[in-house]
Amino acid sequence: MSMIICNTGMLVQTREENIAFTAGKDMAVLPVIENGWLLIEDGIIAGYGPPETMPSFSDAITKLDAGGGYVFPAFCDPHTHLVYAGSREKEYTDKIRGLSYEEIAQRGGGILNSAKLLHDTPEEELFRQSMDRVNEIISFGTGAVEIKSGYGLTTEDELKMLRVIRRIKQETPLTVRSTFLGAHAVPALYRNNRSGYVDLIVNEMIPAVASERLADYIDVFCDRGFFTVAETARILESGARHGMRPKIHANELDYSGGIQEGVKHGALSVDHLEFTGDEEIRALLGSGTMPTLLPGAAFFLGMTDPPARKMIEAGLPLAMASDYNPGSSPSGNMKLVVSLGCIRLRLLPEEAFNAVTLNAAYAMGLSETHGSITVGKKANLFITKRIPSYEFLPYAYGSNLVETVILNGEVVFSQQSDKESS
Ligand code: NIG
Ligand code: FE
């Protein structure tokens, strides 16, 4: 199966040589080819180039006329909790009335509220609800997603979530990475016995998850009011013994030590990082751990933004993710994340695009196959409506500009437009 995409406005994020990620000043470099063509063979990017180099193809090959639209590598979203039951708009209203995220959690709302809803929802129904979100993020241009457990908080319910994630991996064209997050919150039953819950995670949950090979990574919410550095260390060590590399929640609510602990345990990424100072930056430099920012969460909760500019100026790489979840970021729209990166974190559009493609692919262990237009990588792409520049994408922050989504070389989503007559 071959397909040629022609009549493009621009190919964006073209990397002749694949690089693992981009950091510091290089984050402002976004290679493009104007009016380029792109050839897909058997689900893989087989060639691309400027218009004068376009080979002549037989009529047998499928031609996709981009109508002047821009071609991007599909978004990689390296941090989501999109498998959940129901929703929490009641807490959203409580927040508007003045309660904080932590106050809601302390009243048994928040993560524990979602855990109760998840417990009461049969696996099939959980899958159905999650698939609505999966189909939505595909239509928004996401091609690879990391999904966490963490609303189970019992062995049985954590396994239920992870099985739903596995089914999404099997039944959809998305590339999926799964993460075990038993240490998302201390369940009510263990409120006065925290170490008992950590014992349960280490002695029962991790071995059960590993024996069914249900998770690629392990996560802990290492923050004030959730899990301490010592608890995190214990859980990550146990995860490592079972082949799960850390990707952790850190420094969302305080200078919690989570960043340093993540780096110490060789985390693939540390995520949130609203509270990042000089010490945290020093720990991250040269570490191989991708700092991953979730601007949708700070935006939705009205909380502190991380010092993104300072981090880039110190030479760090940055990835961004949606954090799609019912409590702090009920949106998986990565185009909006790009806008929030530019508007709230003061990233240049080039830096923001690198953060949601190349660097995001690295943050989920996919930099060999995803995150750029490179020969040999998976043909995961989206084509926009006709736009005047790539900066227009984050600028037009409320417009849905993704017109066609191609995953594994197949068109999986398309919305009609009348480009030809425009
Ligand atoms: O990434 N910070 C921890 N966990 C999620 C929120 C989960 C929830 O509120 O349901 C997050 O923001
Ligand atoms: Fe999260």
Q: What's the CATH code of the domain at 335?
A: 3.20.20.140
Amino acid in the structure at residue 54: M
Ligand 1, from 112, 328, 329, 337: best to mutate by most atoms within 8 Å of Cβ? 328
Counting ligand 1 atoms within 8 A of each CB, the residue from 107, 147, 149, 184 with the most, and so the one to mutate, is 184
Answer yes or no: do 228 and 276 share one domain: yes
Which residues, including other chains, have CB under 8 Å from residue 129's CB and lie 6 or more apart? Answer: 84, 85, 86, 121
Question: pTM of the prediction?
Answer: 0.97
For residue 242, what are the contacts with CB-CB under 8 A and spacing of at least 6? 206, 207, 209, 210
13 and 66: one domain? yes
Q: How many domains does the chain have?
A: 2
Same-domain status, 56 and 109: no
Instruction: Clarify whether residues 407 and 295 are in a common domain.
Output: no
Cα(102)–Cα(363) distance, integer angstroms: 27
On whether both 233 and 286 belong to a single domain, the answer is yes
Residue minimizing CA distance to atom 1 of ligand 1:
323
In tens digits, what is the pLDDT along the chain, a chain of 422 residues? 799 999 999 999 999 999 999 999 999 999 999 999 999 999 999 999 999 999 888 888 999 999 999 999 999 999 999 999 999 999 999 999 999 888 888 887 899 999 999 999 999 999 999 999 999 999 999 999 999 999 999 999 999 999 999 999 999 999 999 999 999 999 999 999 999 999 999 999 999 999 999 999 999 999 998 999 999 999 999 999 999 999 999 999 999 999 999 999 999 999 999 999 999 999 999 999 999 999 999 999 998 999 999 999 999 999 999 999 999 999 999 999 999 999 999 999 999 999 999 999 999 999 999 999 999 999 999 999 999 999 999 999 999 999 999 999 999 999 976 554 43
Cα 272 from Cα 264, distance rounded (Å): 17
Ligand 1 centroid, distance to 267 Cα (angstroms): 19
Q: Counting atoms of ligand 1 from 1, which one is nearest the CA of 110?
A: 9
Please tell me the number of the ligand nearest to residue 226's CA.
Answer: 1
Pocket of ligand 1 (CB under 6 A): 81, 110-111, 114, 221, 249, 252, 297, 323, 325-328
Atom 10, ligand 1: which residue's CA is nearest?
327
Residue 87 and residue 59 in one domain = no
Give the distance (Å) from ligand 1 centre to CA of residue 410.
33
CATH number of the domain bearing residue 56: 2.30.40.10
**What is the span of the domain harbouring residue 89?**
75-363
Shared domain for 69 and 11, answered yes or no, is yes
Same domain, 176 and 162: yes
Residues 84, 166, single domain; the answer is: yes
Residues 244 and 310 in one domain: yes
Q: Same structural domain for residues 219 and 296?
A: yes
Q: Which atom of ligand 1 is nearest to the CA of 114?
A: 10
Judge if 82 and 141 occupy the same domain. yes
